[in-house]
Copies of this chain bind each other. A is one copy, B any other.
Amino acid sequence: MADSALDLTLDGPALTAWLVDFPSESGTEKPLADAIEAALRTLPHLTVDRHGNNVVARTHLGRAERVVLAGHIDTVPIADNVPSRLDEKGVLWGCGTSDMKSGVAVQLRIAATVPEPNRDLTFVFYDNEEVAAHLNGLGHVADAHPDWIEGDFAVLLEPSDAQVEGGCQGTLRVILRTEGERAHSARSWMGSNAVHAAAPILARLAAYEPRRPVIDGLEYHEGLNAVRIEGGVANNVIPDACAVTVNYRYAPDRTAEEALAHVREVFADCEIAEFTVDDHSGAALPGLSHPAAAAFMAAVGGTPQPKFGWTDVSRFGALGVPAVNYGPGDALYAHKRDEHVVVDRITHCERRLHAWLTA
């Protein structure tokens, strides 16, 4: 592990390496949160608050707009890929290089180098993003201190390959159960087959045509899929129960209520004995038409992309704060043994954000 004092004069790549070499698997973030809090407290233009292992730092310049820059400080378990290693091609390897200590390094660089931003800034460093939703530090802060993370626009520095990814799709998981009546399979007419009763459910799924709505210029792509199916008692028994787990990924022009109503409608005539909502996280609009977002897009350039997966931008969406993903890492390598980041991207992201906030 590196020295526990965080040096904010390091450049973005060096800061990323320092953060990677300071392990912070989910649940063990306290030492890193301590180091970040201590470093931020040395910056006179910021007030610093702490809730658990979540650190929030803010400017209070009375600007017309406030922008939130947020990132999680935890990583998935290390897989023999710490300490970090910088190769001769300018690629930094190691756990968290992409997801998302390079993004956290950019946050820290902006905090340290932009004392008088053109928009008020809020920096959020939070824990437990890589584990269960109920542990998520951003969620805890949103519940306990929603005022700490208020803003007009938020940038989550999750890996997006230095491209802007707007909003995120929602995800709804339901379990559809069919019922039957057990009987010996030699006398099947004495019972009723719950697996056969699931035939219309699979037929609806197989025939489903997902929407691809365009929102704020981004084309989303929905999906309605069985992710699990399970039924059966024994090889000679007619099954009396079958469960199909269905995941609906939906575009951010649908509310959570509309998404649920849609799924109920798709399976309305399927004779489902029990319809259970197993998990539901709403979508988030990209919010690219907001003035702060438009200025952000102009500053960072490129063509925004829709975000298909669910991310914490949805938590900002729920608070009424439009949010995008924009970070130097590449999501394709997140959670992998060969996780890495191109160090030029770290510098690139920092420069673009710097330009946006000082123009």
Contacts and interface: CB of A to CB of B under 8 A. Distances in A.
B189 A223 contact: yes
B203 A199 contact: yes
Interface in A193-240: 193, 195-200, 202-203, 205-206, 210, 221, 223, 225-239
A228 B223 contact: no
Interface stretch (A15-23, A90-98, A179-187): A179-187
* Copies of this chain: 2
Contacts of A221: 187, 189
A229 B226 contact: no
A228 B235 contact: yes
Interface string A335-357: 00000000000000000000000
Interface residues of A, number: 48
B227 A232 contact: yes
A232 B210 CA distance: 21
B231 A239 contact: no
A193 B225 CA distance: 7
Contact of A249 (B185, B193, B196, B199): B185
A173 to B, nearest CB: 6
A186 B242 contact: no
Interface string A81-123: 0000000000000000000000000000000000000000000
A70 to B, nearest CB: 20
Given A202-B202, A206-B196, A187 B235 contact: no
Given A202-B198, A223-B189, A309 B184 contact: yes
A195 B235 contact: no
Contact of A171 (B186, B202, B227, B228): B186
A228 B229 CA distance: 10
Contacts of A53: none
Nearest to A223: B188
Contacts of A279: 235
Contacts of A233: 227
Contacts of A245: 232, 235
A270 to B, nearest CB: 12
A54 interface: no
B193 A226 contact: yes
A314 interface: no
Contact of A225 (B185, B199, B244): B185
A20 to B, nearest CB: 25
Contact of A228 (B189, B225, B232): B232
Contacts of A197: 206
Nearest to A237: B227
A306 to B, nearest CB: 11
A310 interface: yes
A158 B308 CA distance: 62
A247 interface: yes
A65 to B, nearest CB: 31
A281 B1 CA distance: 65
Closest 5 interchain pairs by CB? A228-B232, A188-B223, A199-B202, A186-B309, A195-B226
7 contacts: A187-B223, A188-B223, A195-B227, A199-B199, A225-B238, A228-B235, A229-B232
Given A185-B227, A196-B225, A199-B202, 9 more contacts: A173-B235, A189-B210, A193-B225, A193-B226, A195-B205, A195-B229, A229-B232, A229-B239, A235-B247
